[in-house]
Amino acid sequence: MKYGSLILEKKEYVYLKRILNISGYADDHEVQKSLFKLSEELKTATIADEEEVPKDVVRFNSIVTVKSDKGWERMLQIVIPQDKNLSLNKISVLAPMGAALLGYSKEDIVDWDFPGGKQKLEIVDVKREDTLKGLDILI
């Protein structure tokens, strides 16, 4: 891990903790495992002010290019749950893929248990969108 721990912006961290508290009742066992792992990783995460978060860290609304050890490569956007849209490659932060990538940075390798089995993901690129747009209303 490039920066030694997950890095989250303060408002995003507060929002994420809130939605994790209310989403602990996910029906799918694999989703529950992903959310539990993310919750555990948050315990050692670095929480930073907006201007202190490196530009290559995966945040809310980041557009991430990820490559799997299974041979595929995809570009997707990590979004708040209500903005998910699989046809537009917008993945909820509560989905296993979103939970796996949040807080990691470009060139990090992420080991994660997905519904289809364990995978190693390489974060090839991270582009920032307006990460905090609308988040103030939600927290």
For 6, the token pair is 């997950």
| Identity at 110, one-letter amino acid code | V
Q: What does pLDDT average to over the chain?
A: 88
Look at residue 73 and tell me if it is in a domain: yes
Look at residue 26 and tell me if it is in a domain: yes
**CB burial class (10 A; 0-12, 13-18, 19+) of residue 71?**
exposed
Look at residue 90 and tell me if it is in a domain: yes
Confidence at residue 20, expressed as pLDDT on a 0 to 100 scale: 85
Confidence of residue 19 (pLDDT cuts 50, 70, 90): confident
Look at residue 97 and tell me if it is in a domain: yes
What is the longest distance spanned by two Cα atoms in the chain? 39
Q: How many domains does the chain have?
A: 1
Look at residue 48 and tell me if it is in a domain: yes
CB 111 within 8 A of CB 118: yes
Average pLDDT over residues 46-70: 95
Q: Residue 98 sits in a domain of what CATH number?
A: 3.10.50.30
Look at residue 39 and tell me if it is in a domain: yes
Q: What is the pTM of this model?
A: 0.87
Domain encompassing residue 56: 7-129
Look at residue 136 and tell me if it is in a domain: no
Taking alpha carbons only, the member of 119, 125, 14, 4 closest to residue 64 is 125
